[in-house]
Amino acid sequence: MSVAADVPTIPMDAAAVNARGLSVGYSGETVVANIDFRLDRGKVLALVGSNGSGKTTLLKTIAGLLPPVSGEIDVLGGAPMAKPGQVAYMGQFHPSSFMLPLRAIDVVRMARFAAHGLLGRMTHRDERAVQEAIERMGVAHLAQEPLNTLSGGQRQKVFLAQAFAREADLILLDEPAANLDAAARDNYRRLVRELANAGRSVLVATHDIDEAADYDWTMLLAHRVVAYGHVEDILNPETLLSTFGIAGSYKEGRVIIVGREHGHEECEEEQELPVSGLFHQPPHDHAHHRS
């Protein structure tokens, strides 16, 4: 994770991820078809969409956990999973993994296995990367604690530390901000920015448009690529409607909702919300009185 010490090993001209006509899905069933994008090194891409929109499927395909249904994908200039030591993936975890007899530090250390194979010796550099990652995520004081005694937020920080301790050139994060409090969220976003400045590439699946606005690129997903570009340029009433079923517009960090798709007719209201609160809003519940 050390930001300045190591220079990423991809050649300057190679894209971190390059997808051409890529269709992703499970066992031959397409979830998102025809994705074309290129993520350059040193850039951060947010995958934004509601649950089931295909964010996780795309991340898993890039990680090499799912074969592409069709099309082509290069990761760090080769096939997905060709360089396990240079790609970090933080997925969503099965709760049974939390009950293992492991300390937080053991979980973070696992990040270094990829670079050493079965029996390769761990070095000082590995230990330094592990220490740095747990310090940056603010969990150094929990290093010796068993995983099953940690809170949800603390565990999430440990898992993020694991992803960062890999010191990978490409970092794939699936909803990393879940369970994090505001301070931890800011801290992790700062870290993502620093990693990108140091030449690493990051892909983040998120619900949070506010977070996406922090990053270089955003891909809006809803079983198809709704839009791809910077948040400021691509968020408009149509894309919001297609992505989240919300009609509204995005302006200077706030989404102005002018009505939601909810089956009611003639429902027009203006509501202004901070974007980070957008998806914690209760469903539209006012009554409609026809005059």
Residues that bind another protein (CB under 8 A): 60, 63-65, 81, 84-85, 87-89, 91, 93-94, 96-97, 100-103, 106-107, 110, 113-114, 116-119, 146
Closest separation in Å from C-beta 291 to another protein: 52
In the bound state with another protein, the residue whose beta carbon lies nearer, of 168 and 231, is 168
Which residue, among 255, 248, 252, has the nearest Cα to 275 in the 3D structure? 255
Closest separation in Å from C-beta 242 to another protein: 30
In the bound state with another protein, the residue whose beta carbon lies nearer, of 7 and 119, is 119
In the bound state with another protein, the residue whose beta carbon lies nearer, of 152 and 253, is 152
Pairwise CA distance, residues 166 & 110, whole Å: 9
Q: Are 17 and 74 in contact (CB under 8 A)?
A: yes
DSSP bridge partners of 251:
254
Q: How many helices (H) and strands (E) does the chain have?
A: 9, 12
In the bound state with another protein, the residue whose beta carbon lies nearer, of 86 and 239, is 86
Closest separation in Å from C-beta 168 to another protein: 10
Cα three-residue angle 233-235-239, rounded to 5 degrees: 125
Closest separation in Å from C-beta 103 to another protein: 6
Burial class (CB in 10 A: 0-12, 13-18, 19+), 62: buried
Closest separation in Å from C-beta 10 to another protein: 17
Distances (CA, A) of 16 to 6, 56, 112, 162, 252: 17, 18, 21, 20, 30
In the bound state with another protein, the residue whose beta carbon lies nearer, of 118 and 287, is 118
